[in-house]
C-alpha cells in the first residue's frame, strides 16, 4: 500500500513577488535576487510535476513578502487540512489567502482558533505520527489545539523541540520514507527520532537537511554533494534545485509547497 506520508498527487506553490526582498531572515546574508529565485521556483514546480504532482500555482502576494513559503500556512493530511496560526506577525494574513485554495481541494478544512501558534515548518508527518517542534514560531497552546483536531482523524501527535537558534523543526530534518529521517547531528542528538532509521547530514552540509520526498523523488537543494551521495547510495532518486536565493530568507525545499 502507498504511504501517505510521502505519496501525493497534488502540490500547492506560490510564486515569489517583488516584495520578497523584504522577507524575514535571521541574519542578513544579502538581498535575494528575484529573477534567479523565479528560475529556481520554476525548476522546483517542474520537478514536482516530474514526480507526478498536479501543481496548483498561486500568484504572488506583494503584501506578504514570505508568502512563497506556503508550507507554513497549513498542515495537509489525507483526512483534511488544518489552517495554521503563524507565530510571525507579518505572516498571519497569509493563511486567509491560502484558505480558499485548500477548501476547493478538501472536503474538510479546520482552522486553528488560537490563542496559540503553529507554523507548518515545525511539523514532520511520518507514517506513524505527527512530530511538532516547539520553536520561536510554534508554542504549546497551538500544538495542543492541533493535537485535538488531528486526533479526531486518527493521528497521534508528539511534541519535540526545535534546536535553539533554528527557525523550524524541519530546517534540520526531513522525511526520506515513512520510517527514515534525514537529520542534522544536532537535532538527532536530542533523541527525538528514537525508533526511526536516521541518516545524518554530513558535517558542513547542515543546510541540506531541509528537503522533500515526493513519490519516488528526493528533491533537495543544489550544492551539497556529500548529502546527495549519501542519499543516492541509500537508493534514493535525487533531484537537485538551486536554493541560493530562498536560503537568504531561511527558506528551503519543504517551505515552498504544500503536498497532499
Ligand atoms: C520566515 O522566516 O518565516 C521565512 N523567511 C522563511 C520560512 C521558511 N519556511 C519553512 O521552513 N517552512
Q: Report the CATH number that the domain containing residue 137 is assigned in CATH.
A: 3.75.10.10
If one counts every other C-beta atom within 10 angstroms of the C-beta of residue 107, the result is 8
5 found inside a domain: no
Q: Relative to the CA of 168, which ligand 1 atom is closest?
A: 11
Residue of higher predicted confidence among 176 and 178: 176
Distance in Å, CA 234 to ligand 1 centroid? 29
Look up residue 98 and give its DSSP letter.
H
| Residue ranges making up the domain that contains 110 | 10-259
187 found inside a domain: yes
4 found inside a domain: no
1 found inside a domain: no
pTM for the full predicted model: 0.97
238 found inside a domain: yes
Number of domains in the chain: 1
- Percent of the chain exceeding pLDDT 90 equals 99
Asked if pLDDT for residue 2 goes beyond 90, the answer is no
CB 44 within 8 A of CB 241: yes
- Which residue's CA lies nearest to atom 3 of ligand 1? 24
22 found inside a domain: yes
Asked if pLDDT for residue 196 goes beyond 90, the answer is yes
pLDDT at 11: 98
CA triple 179-183-188, angle to 5 deg: 95
Q: What is d(CA 11, CA 198) in angstroms, rounded to the nearest whole number?
A: 26
Pocket test for ligand 1, best of 30, 66, 209 (most atoms within 8 A of CB): 66
64 found inside a domain: yes
Q: What is d(CA 77, CA 153) in angstroms, rounded to the nearest whole number?
A: 9
- CB within 8 A of 135, min separation 6: which ones? 87, 119, 122, 162, 166, 167, 168, 169
Q: In the block, which residue shows the cell 482552522?
A: 111
2 found inside a domain: no
Amino acid at each position: 500500500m502507498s504511504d501517505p506520508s510521502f505519496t501525493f498527487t497534488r502540490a500547492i506553490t506560490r510564486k515569489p513577488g517583488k516584495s520578497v526582498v523584504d522577507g524575514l531572515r535571521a541574519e542578513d546574508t544579502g538581498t535575494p535576487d528575484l529573477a534567479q529565485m523565479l528560475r529556481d521556483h520554476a525548476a522546483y514546480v517542474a520537478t514536482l510535476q516530474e514526480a507526478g504532482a498536479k501543481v496548483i500555482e498561486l500568484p504572488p502576494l506583494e503584501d506578504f513578502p514570505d508568502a512563497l513559503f506556503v508550507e507554513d500556512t497549513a498542515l495537509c493530511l489525507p483526512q483534511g487540512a488544518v489552517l495554521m496560526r503563524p507565530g510571525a506577525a507579518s505572516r498571519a494574513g497569509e493563511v486567509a489567502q491560502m484558505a480558499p485554495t485548500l477548501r476547493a481541494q478538501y472536503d474538510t478544512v479546520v482552522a486553528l482558533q488560537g490563542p496559540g501558534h503553529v507554523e507548518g515548518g515545525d511539523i514532520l508527518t511520518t507514517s506513524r505520527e505527527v512530530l511538532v517542534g516547539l520553536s520561536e514560531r510554534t508554542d504549546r497552546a497551538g500544538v495542543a489545539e492541533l493535537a485535538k483536531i488531528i486526533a479526531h482523524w486518527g493521528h497521534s501527535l508528539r511534541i519535540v523541540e526545535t534546536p535553539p537558534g533554528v527557525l523550524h523543526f524541519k530546517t534540520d530534518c526531513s522525511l526520506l520514507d515513512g520510517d527514515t529521517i534525514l537529520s542534522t547531528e544536532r537535532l538527532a542528538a536530542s533523541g527525538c527520532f528514537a525508533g526511526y532509521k536516521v541518516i545524518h547530514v554530513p558535517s558542513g552540509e547542515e543546510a541540506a537537511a531541509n528537503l522533500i520526498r515526493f513519490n519516488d523523488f528526493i528533491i533537495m537543494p543544489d550544492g551539497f554533494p556529500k548529502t546527495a551521495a549519501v542519499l543516492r547510495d541509500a537508493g534514493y532518486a535525487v533531484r537537485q534545485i538551486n536554493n541560493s536565493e530562498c536560503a537568504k530568507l531561511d527558506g528551503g525545499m519543504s517551505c515552498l509547497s504544500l503536498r497532499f
